[in-house]
Amino acid sequence: MHEFLVSAVAFIVLIGVMVVVHEFGHFAVAKLCGVRVEQFSLGFPPRLFGIKIGETDYCVSATLLGGYVKMTGETLTGENLSLESAGKAGIEALKEDPGALTSHPRWQRMLIGVAGPTANFVLAFVAMVFYFGWINEVPAYDVTTTTIEWVVPGSAAAQAGLAPGDVIRHFDTEDNPTWDAVVSRMALSPNQTVPIAVDRGGQTLQLAIHIPAELTEIDLAGMLPQYTPGSIGIKSVASGMPAAQAGLRDGDFIQSVDGHALHSVSSLLAYMQAGQGKPISLVVLRNGVALAPLVAHPAKLDAGWKLGFTAVPIPLHNSPLPLPRALAKSGKFCAEGSTLILQMLERIATRRVPASQLSGPVGIARIAGDAAEMKGWQPKFELAAEISLNLGILNLLPFPILDGGMIFLLLIESVLRHDININVKERIYQAAFVALIAFFVFVIFNDVTKLPIFTHLKP
């Protein structure tokens, strides 16, 4: 229940902010172009309260999942999914109304259409400038190389010949990639084989790895990244659990597991999962003194093998960047994120990536909930920026009902030098609406089947 509530609240806040910013983009440019804005609402009807200033009703509505802008003459645009035709007489009357959207030049209507996605791009950029310029959390200590900490036996990484301690020098199309770049290239290459070059003891090995169709949350095709040096610190040990029974205490440090130098709890969990409950030998440091090896018997809890202790979190400190560097780093983040989204869409369209990789509201809510509970501000800012970029790019796709579809139809009308027949346009929007609902149902179904309650039922 706690996880559900956190995910629901995080989703409502995140999507609410993104959509309101998107709608504000339309609102601001519409006002600048002299279009009459009848209503600017935070949330969807029914209306709760508000105030009317000039021609516009600024209000708060009951369904707090974003917001909308209502402009005079907006009868067929996709923003509010309105499919009610005003009729020929009504359309002609609106063309005579200087405040109506339809009476304005097409280039102004296109500007209003592109303003929403642009606002999302600006939001992503500004959010990351703020993060890099005023927060910028960095580990107190860090591993700068892309080093593999451990390889899951039998995994795609093991079959590729990768080994603990390998340093990745090339992955797919990336030279000297970061782990973030490796994750991004994997996301673009499910069920495909990509080249990988590693440095092993000063020797470069040219290998190839087959990326699984679905990556687990624990490892990356069997590769466990080394993010930090040092041992696994134990903050607290739960009484009666395998860790306590083995003799572990608060403040201990696990130096090695069965002779393997593991540096993170995620690696330890993956190691125990591969061992399926086999006893493990721990070399432990206590008060600076190495103890005789302790033997622990992992217990199966929550569908995974665990010892029952809370690890010391990786210490972070804020290191804000000068404004020029923050601007540059934010620009790079947004450019790389946008490129990744476009590459993913291209690969889905060409069937190199299955459509099941897409996430809808349920998937976004789970990710938002995870980010909300993660330590620090970085995952929260990065997720918000990534979703804002996604919203901006997806809305620019030339599909009716989306902003890009409206702009596309306006471009066609500009080439034809006359409006598309109102009945034809309405049929286009109706067909697009049905297609969008069908797609939405598919994405929701896809999200639900990925929930833990269903994934645990898979053989």
The CATH code of the domain that includes 199 is 2.30.42.10
pLDDT digits (tens, 9 = 90+) for 126-157: 999 999 999 998 777 667 789 999 898 888 99
- Of 202, 225, 248, the last residue of a domain is 225
The token pair at 411 is 């471009």
Residues 219 and 238 in one domain: no
Residue 65 Cα to chain centre, angstroms: 18
- Where residue 76 falls among pLDDT bands split at 50, 70, 90? very low
Residues 378 and 438 in one domain: yes
Give the pLDDT confidence score for residue 16 in this predicted structure: 80
Strand partners, 153: none
The token pair at 271 is 């190691």
| Alpha carbon distance 337, 133 (integer Å) | 19
The token pair at 379 is 């995952």
Residue 217 has pLDDT above 60, yes or no: no
- Is residue 3 within 8 A of residue 369, CB to CB? The reply is yes
Mean pLDDT estimate for the chain: 83
Residues 459 and 375 in one domain: yes
Specify if 143 maps to a domain: no
* Average pLDDT value for residue range 201-228: 82
Residue 354 has pLDDT above 90, yes or no: no
Residue 196 has pLDDT above 70, yes or no: yes
Write phi, then psi, for 363 (nearest 5 degrees): -65, -40
Which range among 73-87, 91-105, 126-140, 254-268 shows the weakest confidence by mean pLDDT? 73-87
DSSP codes joined into one string, 374-429: SSSSHHHHHHHHHHHHHHHHHHTSS-TTSHHHHHHHHHHHHHHTSPPPHHHHHHHH
Give the pLDDT confidence score for residue 351 in this predicted structure: 75
Global pTM reads 0.73
Provide the domain limits for residue 161.
148-225
Task: Give the chain's domain count.
Answer: 3
The residues near 243 (Cβ < 8 Å, ≥ 6 apart) are: 234, 237, 296, 307, 308, 309
Length of the chain: 459
| 147-to-47, 173, 273, 316 alpha-carbon distances in Å | 55, 18, 21, 20
Of 14, 31, 13, 18, nearest in space to 121 by CA: 18
Residues 195 and 238 in one domain: no
Give the pLDDT confidence score for residue 86 in this predicted structure: 46
Residues 66 and 206 in one domain: no
- 205's enclosing H/E stretch is strand 203-210
Residues 417 and 373 in one domain: yes
Tell me if residue 174 falls in helix, strand or coil.
Answer: strand
pLDDT winner (highest mean) among 92-96, 101-105, 319-323: 319-323
Residue 84 has pLDDT above 60, yes or no: no
